[in-house]
A and B are shown apart, each in its own frame.
Chain A
Amino acid sequence: MLPSHWPKWVVILLAFGLIVVAIVVAALSVPLTRALAPDLTPAPELPEINYAEPLSGECELCHTDEQILQASAGSQENVDAYYIEAASLEGPHGSLGCITCHEGTGNEADKEIAHQGLIDDLSETHPEDCLLCHRNLPDQLPEDNLRTPHGLIRDAVWAGSACGVLCSDCHGQVGHGFDPVTGEIICSMKVCLDCHQERNLEARLSDCNTCHVGPHDLSAVMSCKDCHVSSDTWRETQLGVHPVELVGYHADANCFECHRWPNFKGLDYVCSDCHKRPHEIGNDDCALCHTPEGWAASADALVAGATAFPHPAIGREECRSCHWVEDQEAIPEDHKGRTNDTCLVCHQAAPAPAIMHLVEGHEACLNCHGEGQVAEFTVDIHQGRDDASCRTCHELAGVAPRPILHSLDGRADCLMCHAAGGVKPNPESHEGWDNDLCLLCHQASEQPTQAEHPFPKDHNAAASNCILCHPDNDYSTYHCETCHALAGMTQVHEARGIKEIEKRCVLCHPQGKKP
């Protein structure tokens, strides 16, 4: 296409030319297309801020050095007011450089010249400069539950009208180390309230809802001030409106350690709302045994104060089958909801004394143990008991009093021999008892007296063990076969020509020895 006689390097010029054409065409096309295209959001024209950090060295030199400041500031009050921590210049605003916001004359060592045209508070004279970067300031800060006047201020700034609130009113000296927005510095609500009051703002601007977006949907039933009583910290609350009294740790706990955020729902005000029962016994009505003042101590006190019960526990595990049955064994009112398995946690078994005598023929206990009777029970703890209830606590000992080992004929006065100091004194427990009582317990038997017992009682280690020779306490006969098997004895004797030996042993062995 290009003439063949043209030098080949002409294509290089052609390429450069095409590049230039492309740039020119683009430069011409852009304004045209932008003019024809729709404008999405007519944003306000913003002024530019000259980035002047490199010009701020002299400012920083003075204002970060207390000694230099003292030399020119005149008073310590001024030094305190104009001194800037060097570290604050590393922050987002500080690093913009002093001149960027405060203007004046850059890189000028002379104080008067440096301060010419100085802007003390940028947000007062040029609030639109703040909005250059902070264009979309939120009207609400959800993470802090705060409502802000940003929208009003922004609109007023763009409209060029005064709204009475400056950025610095809340955000202070953001370039000089104060930056409440980061959360590192918490600005007390009192500061806001004082400012509102100083400016005589209408009363509603002192309401909580002016700044705070309450997280709780309780405005229909209560106001913020019912609980939040401090203007210094939101977390300080009073519990006067709490439906139940909070004691112990509960009085110090944060509301939402127990309640569900944000509207306090989901509680029945019982222990099991929050606490999981750590033991198997009992039920979820923890308050039956525990009190919130001291969870373990209250239970320990119950255990320490519990009385013992006077009957065995084994076989009677269903305590409530007898106790707290209507019209039966009453238990204290506060025991009403307790379960069988909790009784033994506190109460120990201390069984009443066992019955040491036969009961047959002696079913009317009170005849002897009743008030004023021969073996009177302890009145105060047995008051109102009848014969039917004795066996509830008192069990048979399983042993019978020793039988009377002699005939009663001519021996009606037991104490003649068995009184203290007698030939055969009774135990000390019998002290004070007279003859009328003896036969209530001790059964007379046909057992022979010592004088009537010709055979040695200590025969070959029998050791006066009567039943070895007299099974079933039958003293009408004797029974050598307990030790001397009849078959063997018969065989031995028959070998010697002695027959029919049964029940005839003492004939040949009156002293239990070989003849």
Chain B
Amino acid sequence: MTQTAWGWLVIIYLFLGGLGAGALLTAALLEVSGWRYKRDYCPTALTGAVISGPIVGLGSLLLILDLGAGKTEPWRIVYLFTNFGSVMTWGIWILTLFIPVALFYGLLELIEVEPFIKGIVWARFPRLLRNVPLYRRRTAIASGILAVGVAVYTGVLISAVGPAVPLWSQPVLPFLPIPMMPLLFLISAISTGMALTFDLVATIAIPEIQQQMRIMDLAHIVLIGVENVLIGLLLLSALNAGGAAAESARMIMYGPLSILFWVGVVLVGLIYPFVVHAYAIGAGRHSLWSGIGSGAGILIAGLFLRYLIVFAGIPAQL
């Protein structure tokens, strides 16, 4: 019997939280590295900066709604800010800090592409416009650090419940007692963020951008490889642990979640994008549609992965 406490609301929070953090990290990386300025207009940086605050905020709202009291007495969320012995309090603080900083970062990107907003800012905060690149760079760094926290927290949240659900508390390696989930979720977050902002949005907006930022192919190869290893280690570790953890792993690999895992995650989210990006590195290019397909695969596989982990969570047996 799998756990029933967490459902789609938490899964979508895990997905949106990771996606928002990953998208912002991608934008911040382009900002800090200067690659963003290779073109006058960088849809990846724009999308990553603008969507991250709202979707992480939306995800956090879903998280609150998932709580029983969140629906009836949402003000009780305040108590979560003061219980510093709980990792959830750390997460609440990280989310609380991240969302406004990310929104501000998004505003600084929007200023560049939307004269209407630029006019409003000019009218209210004229000094801000004089130093937009500087503010944007600093905000990118600050929000990038917080984004790592947001992405890691999605994994910490689930691994903190881990002792009750052994699959979620599996270590990175049997002799390395660091929980797997934060690391796996961080890698997956960056991967999905890049897929959305670059492979999908940027490619659809400016197809030739793929030829101009070949570094993204290499980044995808590395991220997919690491993610592949981590998922493999997670399942092997769970099988080796026996009990509920092994039951979870069997459920994923050849149980009711097996098609979703092998097709939705492994084939669509790992193998296909890996082949596409490996081909692109070798051939120096890939087609528009294979790039979009790869991005779509990685994006939806990120959601499937979180669904699998949450729904395959079998409580420890008493």
Does chain A have a CB within 8 A of B266?
A: no
Does chain A have a CB within 8 A of B51?
A: yes
Chain B residues closer than 8 Å to A36, beta-carbon distance: 259
CB-CB under 8 A for A14 and B204, given A9-B46, A23-B303, A34-B260: yes
Show 26 A/B contacts (Cβ-Cβ < 8 Å), sorted by A. Answer: A1-B205, A1-B207, A1-B288, A2-B206, A9-B46, A9-B110, A15-B51, A15-B196, A18-B201, A18-B296, A19-B51, A19-B55, A19-B299, A23-B15, A26-B264, A26-B307, A29-B264, A33-B257, A33-B259, A34-B256, A34-B257, A37-B257, A40-B251, A40-B255, A43-B1, A135-B317
A-B contacts besides A22-B296, A37-B258, A37-B260, 14 pairs, CB < 8 Å: A1-B205, A7-B114, A11-B202, A19-B19, A23-B15, A26-B264, A30-B304, A30-B307, A34-B257, A37-B256, A38-B255, A40-B255, A134-B317, A135-B1
Chain A residues closer than 8 Å to B207, beta-carbon distance: 1
Does chain A have a CB within 8 A of B254?
A: yes
CB-contacts of A26-67 with B (<8 A): 26-27, 29-30, 33-34, 36-40, 43, 46, 48
In the docked arrangement, what's the CA distance between A138 and B276, Å?
Answer: 51
In the docked arrangement, what's the CA distance between A16 and B197, Å?
Answer: 11
Contact B200 A18, beta carbon cutoff 8 Å: yes
Chain A residues closer than 8 Å to B114, beta-carbon distance: 7-9
Min Cβ gap A417→B in Å is: 110
Min Cβ gap A182→B in Å is: 12
Chain A residues closer than 8 Å to B16, beta-carbon distance: 19
Contact B255 A22, beta carbon cutoff 8 Å: no
Taken residue by residue from 1 to 44, chain B's Cβ proximity to chain A (1 for < 8 Å, 0 otherwise) reads as: 10010001000100110010001000000000000000001010
Does chain B have a CB within 8 A of A423?
A: no
CB-contacts of B65-97 with A (<8 A): none
Min Cβ gap A217→B in Å is: 28
Contact A8 B113, beta carbon cutoff 8 Å: yes
Contact A33 B264, beta carbon cutoff 8 Å: yes
Taken residue by residue from 290 to 317, chain B's Cβ proximity to chain A (1 for < 8 Å, 0 otherwise) reads as: 0000001001100110010000000001
Min Cβ gap B173→A in Å is: 27
Contact A26 B300, beta carbon cutoff 8 Å: yes
Does chain A have a CB within 8 A of B219?
A: no
**Closest residue of A by beta carbon distance from B302:** A22
Chain B residues closer than 8 Å to A34, beta-carbon distance: 256-257, 259-260
Contact B300 A22, beta carbon cutoff 8 Å: yes
**Closest residue of A by beta carbon distance from B258:** A37
Contact B303 A11, beta carbon cutoff 8 Å: no
Taken residue by residue from 159 to 200, chain A's Cβ proximity to chain B (1 for < 8 Å, 0 otherwise) reads as: 000000000000000000000000000000000000000000
Query: Contact residue range for chain B?
Result: 35 or more
Chain A residues closer than 8 Å to B51, beta-carbon distance: 12, 15-16, 19
Contact A40 B300, beta carbon cutoff 8 Å: no
Min Cβ gap B250→A in Å is: 6
In the docked arrangement, what's the CA distance between A19 and B295, Å?
Answer: 12
Query: Contact residue range for chain A?
Result: 20 to 34
In the docked arrangement, what's the CA distance between A23 and B196, Å?
Answer: 13
In the docked arrangement, what's the CA distance between A37 and B260, Å?
Answer: 8
Chain B residues closer than 8 Å to A15, beta-carbon distance: 23, 47, 51, 196-197, 200-201
Chain A residues closer than 8 Å to B288, beta-carbon distance: 1
Chain A residues closer than 8 Å to B197, beta-carbon distance: 15
Does chain B have a CB within 8 A of A136?
A: yes
Contact B205 A14, beta carbon cutoff 8 Å: yes
Chain B residues closer than 8 Å to A18, beta-carbon distance: 196, 200-201, 296, 299
Chain A residues closer than 8 Å to B304, beta-carbon distance: 26, 29-30
Does chain A have a CB within 8 A of B50?
A: yes
CB-contacts of B186-202 with A (<8 A): 196-197, 200-202
Contact A22 B299, beta carbon cutoff 8 Å: yes
CB-CB under 8 A for A11 and B256, given A27-B8, A40-B251: no
In the docked arrangement, what's the CA distance between A23 and B300, Å?
Answer: 8
Contact A29 B260, beta carbon cutoff 8 Å: yes
Chain B residues closer than 8 Å to A27, beta-carbon distance: 8
Does chain A have a CB within 8 A of B318?
A: yes
Does chain B have a CB within 8 A of A495?
A: no
